[in-house]
Amino acid sequence: DQQVKQNSPSLSVQEGRISILNCDYTNSMFDYFLWYKKYPAEGPTFLISISSIKDKNEDGRFTVFLNKSAKHLSLHIVPSQPGDSAVYFCAAHPWISTASKLTFGTGTRLQVML
Amino acid sequence: NAGVMQNPRHLVRRRGQEARLRCSPMKGHSHVYWYRQLPEEGLKFMVYLQKENIIDESGMPKERFSAEFPKEGPSILRIQQVVRGDSAAYFCASSPMGAMNTEAFFGQGTRLTVV
């Protein structure tokens, strides 16, 4: 039962263009959503988060959008840089739960081409 | 302030042996979480511990797996009588507190290979 889904296993984008990574969830109890970035042989690194009371959160080149009615969120990276090439995981938890009992998606591998 | 430290980074065990994975949380963090990532999959929650207490072990396999976080020293994830299906990357994360925290910091992981 995959409660957090990232349906695109991979994405290729030209340097300087926008990268859009998508994530869908099924558990209506999820109230807090996070994006993690992971390089090979390293642990996930927190990138950006959003709570369900917002529909957008921006941090530099990274913006996360949340559409709660559609149970969908997306991460926008603009402009994309070669160093952004990594696997991106979407994660979620219910607000009332211990924050770090996260449910992760299967990840999207982003490749930013020169 | 050192990050979450996991050791060893790589561990090879023969079937039937025991595997011990260690995790030292970030300084000041008293909450530890273990996750497992199987090949081509996302991270799956295993267990959540505070010092000397297991808070949530709903993601732990019922047999052969155990975890502890003693008053002194690192958290240990122990896998007895390992099988090939235990081969995975095991990640530890820590946070300073539980429900009110919004993110956890992950270690670099231990890659377990069972041969």
Give me the pLDDT at residue B100, please: 46
pLDDT in tens, A4-23: 999 999 999 999 999 999 99
The closest CB to that of A99, out of B99, B106, B108, belongs to B99
Which of A42, A100, A107 comes nearest B104 by C-beta?
A100
Burial B3-25 (b: 16+ CB within 10 A, else e): bbebeeeebebeeeeebebbbbb
* B45/A101 CB distance under 8 A: yes
Closest A-chain CA to B50? A98
Q: How confident is the model at residue A102 (pLDDT cuts 50, 70, 90)?
A: confident
Q: B-side interface with A, Cβ within 8 Å?
A: 4, 6, 31, 33, 35, 40-45, 48, 55-56, 91, 93, 95, 98-109, 111
Q: Which of B44, B103, B111 sits opposite A46 (nearest CB)?
A: B103
Query: What contacts B102, CB < 8 A, 6 or more positions away?
Result: A32, A34, A49, A99
pLDDT of residue B105: 87
Give yes or no for a contact between A107 and A47, defined as CB atoms under 8 angstroms apart.
Answer: no
**Region A29-50 average pLDDT:** 92
- Residue in chain A closest to B108 (alpha carbons) equals A43
Residues written for chain B: 115
Hey, which bits of chain A come out as E strands? 4-5, 10-14, 19-25, 32-38, 45-51, 56-59, 62-67, 72-77, 86-93, 103-104, 108-113
Per-residue pLDDT of A51-95, as tens digits, reads: 999 999 999 999 999 999 999 999 999 999 999 999 999 999 887
Task: Give the residue ranges of chain B where pLDDT is below 50.
Answer: 99-100
pLDDT tens, residue by residue, B65-79 = 999 999 999 999 999
Torsions phi, psi of B28, nearest 5? Answer: 90, -5
* 3-class DSSP state of A82: helix
For chain B, what percent of residues have pLDDT higher than 70?
A: 93
Query: Residue A32: CB partners within 8 Å, gap ≥ 6?
Result: A49, A50, A51, A52, A92, A93, A94, A95, A99, B102
Nearest-Cα distance to chain A for B78, in Å, is 20
Q: Give residue A109's pLDDT.
A: 96
Task: Determine which of B33, B43, B55, B101 to mutate to test the interface with A (most A C-beta atoms within 10 Å).
Answer: B43
Q: How far apart are the first and last CA of chain A?
A: 38
